[in-house]
Amino acid sequence: MDTKRLNKAIAETGYTSRRGADKLIEQGKVYVNNELAGLGVKVAPDDTISIDGKVITKKVENLYFVFNKPTGITCTTDESIKGNIISYINHPERIFPIGRLDKPSEGLIFLTNDGDIVNKILRSRNNHEKEYIVGVNRQVTDWFLQKMRNGIPILETITKKCKVEKVDDHSFRIILTQGLNRQIRRMCEHLDFEVRTLRRVRIMNIELGNLKKGKLRHFTKEEFEGMQELISDSSKTEEAS
């Protein structure tokens, strides 16, 4: 069963911070299942927590965030891994990233607590666009752009045709509808190019815009409605890219 530390469980209800919860526990004001609780106690989802005799609960609403991930942050919910995205953001509710952006990459990633929406977005056959700006170690030529557009043999397959355009001598913009592992880096490596910087700037209808690196913001109403429209034909499934 999924358990968590009592102070974290209290903080997730919005009652107080983890530090505040520790103080309440030390003062003998916190009970779990009508028994006095001590520091370090772990609780399960069906345990009843009360403070000063009052049961604390919170029906958590669905949350949808845009995050500008810095390089060096790992898109994992495993908080034992140094530099994990969950500890970095430190949001009081339990949220998780939708898809991945590898550790050396930066830019747009979604986070949510809505499990139903995750597979709809990740499902590659729905052709949801993801846009990146990529810096490389060699001059971007017409030959390189044409090769990238028409498909590259990686991971025992050929990448789907995609939109690629030159930004300047050493960077290009690419729009993918696939989610192969380290796809852009592998495509470039196949052509003897090395990726120096990789930044995702758009997923479907939602753009990174001027959101500062390391910052989080809620979806706007228009963004959420636009995304819902784009994924309306997606199937809820455990199969995801």
Give the separation between CA 204 and CA 190, rounded to whole angstroms.
27
**Average pLDDT value for the chain:** 89
Query: Which pLDDT value is given to residue 190?
Result: 97
Average pLDDT over residues 96-125: 84
At 59 the pLDDT is 59
* Domain assignment present for 42: yes
> Residue 201 pLDDT more than 80?
yes
> Is residue 68 helix, strand or coil?
strand
Residue 74 pLDDT class (50, 70, 90 cuts) = very high
The full 3-state SS of 166-216, as one line of letters, equals EEECCEEEEEECCCCCCHHHHHHHHCCCCEEEEEEEEECCEECCCCCCCCE
Asked whether residue 20 carries a pLDDT value surpassing 80, the answer given is: yes
- What is the structure's pLDDT at 99? 85
Q: Are 123 and 235 within 8 A, CB to CB?
A: yes
> How many residues in the chain?
241
Q: What is the pLDDT of residue 14?
A: 65
Asked if 197 contacts 134 with a C-beta cutoff of 8 angstroms, the reply is: yes
Could you tell me if 41 and 104 lie in one domain?
Answer: no
**Residues 114 and 140 occupy one common structural domain:** no
Q: Is the pLDDT of residue 223 over 60?
A: yes
Confidence (pLDDT) at 125 = 59
Q: Which pLDDT score is estimated for 239?
A: 41
Number of domains, the chain = 3
d(CA 141, CA 144): 5
What is the rounded CA–CA span in Å between residue 26 and residue 3?
A: 21
Question: Coil, strand, or helix at residue 53?
Answer: coil
pLDDT in tens, 149-197: 999 999 999 999 999 999 999 999 999 998 899 999 999 999 999 999 9
Place of tokens 């030959």: 143
CB-CB contact of 69 with 109 (8 Å)? yes
Contacts of 5 (CB under 8 A, 6+ apart): 40, 41, 42, 43
**Does residue 110 lie in a domain region?**
yes
Please report the DSSP string for 127-151 in residue order: ---EEEEEEESS---HHHHHHHHH-
The predicted pLDDT at position 46 comes to: 82
Residue 211 lies in a domain: yes
Q: What is the CATH number of the domain that holds 175?
A: 3.30.70.1560
Neighbour-count burial of 157, counting CB atoms closer than 10 A to its CB (0-12 exposed, 13-18 middle, 19+ buried)? exposed
pLDDT of residue 155: 95
* Per-residue pLDDT band at 17 (split at 50, 70, 90): confident
146 and 196 together in one domain? yes
Domain that holds residue 153: 129-203
Separation between Cα atoms, residue 45 and residue 43, nearest integer Å: 7
Residue 27 lies in a domain: yes
Is 102 a known active-site residue? yes
CATH code of the domain in which 110 resides: 3.30.70.580
Asked if 167 contacts 173 with a C-beta cutoff of 8 angstroms, the reply is yes
Higher pLDDT, 169 or 234: 169
- Catalytic site residue from 22, 46, 102, 233: 102
Sign of the torsion angle spanned by Cα atoms 175, 178, 182, 183: negative
Q: Please state whether 225 falls in left (phi above 0), alpha (psi between -120 and 50) or beta.
A: alpha
